[in-house]
Structure 1
């Protein structure tokens, strides 16, 4: 070791990527816990402070793991949707839905053309048709077509996620569940206690599982299964 190197304090030395990744993942988890506890306690300010931090921290984590650009874009579009849904106004809901829809397109391209089991395709298709049919009459008139179009993209993403393995498949299913809870709220259906808590819990788990599932698939197959 050189004399110069020996004088460099430990805090000033470069941090290995794996360490940065763990720190960023821990920060994502901490922000998620703060957000969920804020929703549970009805502390709106805590939710407003924590929610905007979530996707940027997850993005920073996956970047240290060599995430493909499409995965980063999908998560950033999710962040745009998160910010829009913090605004309590009709147009903001459509903006948020559009941002999430763009994220689903990124996921679909990222997943590539891997085979999906026909039974799974049939189950998701039935869920899509049944859910839209049940919600249609109770949705505001100006949201029916946008919600139906968004639901098609969301369901396709959830279905295709299964091509990357169990982890991503669960993530896709949880994303579908989270947004279905939002849609039933818009349709003014009866809700479980603290629906905002369940929406965020399933959403955070979904994005984490989709992101890490995509990374695991990429690493297992040398980056050849999903698109850069």
Structure 2
């Protein structure tokens, strides 16, 4: 498949817009400004997805980011049904990421470490989780952990992004299980989440944030075959 053309003139403005809205969102969380949260959260992933499109990024990356947008919006009401729907949207995004990562070899010791972390963390969380969420959360955690491990296929930036995504969702899970929370808990969740999505995007685009051309490096030639 012939690589599609990006939109070079929009690359830097879209990146600047994503960073500015992210900063406003995080500042709003620290200030307890609910209006800022409601206005900025739905804009975050569409801006990052638009940046990826302008950079001629892979379709699977854009799909994963838009699934993240769906999850962000669905989680905003706070109801159980909305939470499950949001978790499902994020799960589809993780499948997109896993498909994007392909079959490239990643570190087996890292995989063992992630597996051990998953077993221990879910075991500790289990007693505090609502009965109706135990199985869905366990399945989601397995998928997320696989994504975090396989993210290393796109290089060190994506690997860090995968780890931060796992950390962000772990912070959410501790809240569901009624564990003691960090001060400004929502701020840390969103900071690690935004950093995760940006680093995964950066890794998929070859580790360069402002190139107007195609994405070299980690994704590189494989884009043409998808």
1:195-214 per-residue CA deviation (whole Å, 9 max, x = no partner) reads: 10000000000000001101
Distance in 2 of aligned mates of 1:53 and 1:28: 8
Structure 2 unmatched ranges of 5 or more? 1-5, 208-214
Structure 1 residue 184 corresponds to structure 2 residue 174? yes
Work out whether residues 112 and 226 of structure 1, in 8 Å CA contact, stay in contact via their aligned partners in 2: no
Structure 1 residue 146 corresponds to structure 2 residue 110? no
Query: Closer, same or farther in 2 for the Cα pair 1:102/1:157, shift >3 Å?
Result: same
Aligned residue number for residue 219 of structure 1: 216
Distance in 2 of aligned mates of 1:227 and 1:69: 12
Work out whether residues 68 and 227 of structure 1, in 8 Å CA contact, stay in contact via their aligned partners in 2: no
Q: Secondary structure at the match of 2:216?
A: helix
Shift of 1:223: 2.5
| More RCO (CA 8 Å, sep 6+) | 2
- Give the length in aligned residue pairs: 213
Any residues of structure 2 matched to 1:97-136 within 5 Å, and which?
97-136=87-126
Structure 1 residue 43 corresponds to structure 2 residue 37? no
Query: Closer, same or farther in 2 for the Cα pair 1:188/1:36, shift >3 Å?
Result: same
Distance in 2 of aligned mates of 1:54 and 1:226: 28
1:63-101 per-residue CA deviation (whole Å, 9 max, x = no partner) reads: 011111111110000000000111121111001000000
1:134-153 per-residue CA deviation (whole Å, 9 max, x = no partner) reads: 10111000000000000000
Structure 1 residue 23 corresponds to structure 2 residue 21? no
Work out whether residues 58 and 223 of structure 2, in 8 Å CA contact, stay in contact via their aligned partners in 1: no
Work out whether residues 7 and 56 of structure 2, in 8 Å CA contact, stay in contact via their aligned partners in 1: no
Distance in 1 of aligned mates of 2:18 and 2:221: 25
Distance in 2 of aligned mates of 1:34 and 1:85: 19
Shift of 1:226: 9.0
Structure 1 unmatched ranges of 5 or more? 1-15
Larger Rg: 1
Query: Closer, same or farther in 2 for the Cα pair 1:50/1:189, shift >3 Å?
Result: same
Structure 1 residue 92 corresponds to structure 2 residue 82? yes
Distance in 2 of aligned mates of 1:165 and 1:210: 9
